[in-house]
Amino acid sequence: MPYDVNQPPVRSRRPVRGGALLAVAALAVACLSGCGGPSGPPEAGAGASPSATATDTPTPRPAGTPPSGDAKPADPGAEPGAGTGPLAEKVVVIDPGHNPGNFRHTREINALVDIGTHRKECDTTGTSTNDGHTEAEFTLDVSHRLRTLLEKQGARVQFTQDNDRPFGPCVDERARIGNKASADAVVSVHADGSGVGNRGFHVILPALVKDGSADTTKIVGPSRELGERIAGTFVRATGSKPSNYVGGGTGLDVRGDLGGLNLSTVPKVFIECGNMRDAKDAALLTSSQWRQKAAQGIADGISTYLLG
């Protein structure tokens, strides 16, 4: 059994609402024997560095380009093509956290934008491992793998960025891209930058926020279902344990301070796949084999959510 859901966390920064604790723990345990369907903000990174090499690393494709690569321009707002399969006509927006160029544009990404409840920095550089593998490199690699898996099932997949712009987009624009696409699901891919000994993944869910231009009333429920599905299938695919420092051992964390969630009008979650600052987690996060498992876990969660 990959983990004990009853093991107490080392530290919980944000308690999850009580009603979901047992439900998500049960879902994660159930996924160990088989699930239905197909199989705090990060600290600033240390700057760009060479990517971890992998023979099976997917080839990047400009955002908005359909699988055949011959129909539409590289426009992040353009609707991608769809294939055939169980997810045909479903629209999934993948939001690779940060941008490899952010560290060269600190003035721009430090500019404040409206996230509904208050103003916050456009974006951050993201974190990195102690060896210099950046979060932005990690999120793009996992996102490319995730796109391939979803498109094989017929989904229309769109990126918020694919290292095809100097920096960003800002968190408010990331939300608008998903909204404009009328996405059935949006997943923002990240890795955390916490202290040594803090290990495991967690999925961030939108809190109930209704203030200013932010109103998550309609997406809280479906986003929670999406997040619970991903948490359960991520355990199954990777063998990783839920975070021992966030979410009370459930692998779920509810937040109302993230513009990407506050401004979303479609179901959306973030996933922090592990802690880049812990050597044991970093060894996983820089492994091409583990990244493929991570992508599979996220894809399975999205699929089971979309297929009901």
Contact by Cβ (8 Å): 239, 2: yes
Query: Which of the following is catalytic: 137, 173, 228, 272?
Result: 272
The whole-angstrom separation of Cα 188 and Cα 165 is: 18
What are the start-end ranges of the E strands in 51-151?
91-96, 112-114, 119-121
Three-state secondary-structure class, residue 60:
coil
The whole-angstrom separation of Cα 223 and Cα 225 is: 5
The whole-angstrom separation of Cα 5 and Cα 15 is: 15
135 has catalytic annotation: no
For residue 30, what are the CA distances in angstroms to 18, 134, 182, 210?
A: 20, 33, 31, 34
Contact by Cβ (8 Å): 20, 231: no
For 168, left (φ over 0), alpha (ψ -120 to 50), or beta?
A: left
Q: What is the dihedral of CA 23, 27, 28, 32, to 10 degrees?
A: 150
Gyration radius of the chain over CA positions: 18
Burial class (CB in 10 A: 0-12, 13-18, 19+), 180: middle
Task: Indicate the helix (H) or strand (E) that contains 140.
Answer: helix 135-152
Q: Which are the catalytic amino acids?
A: 272
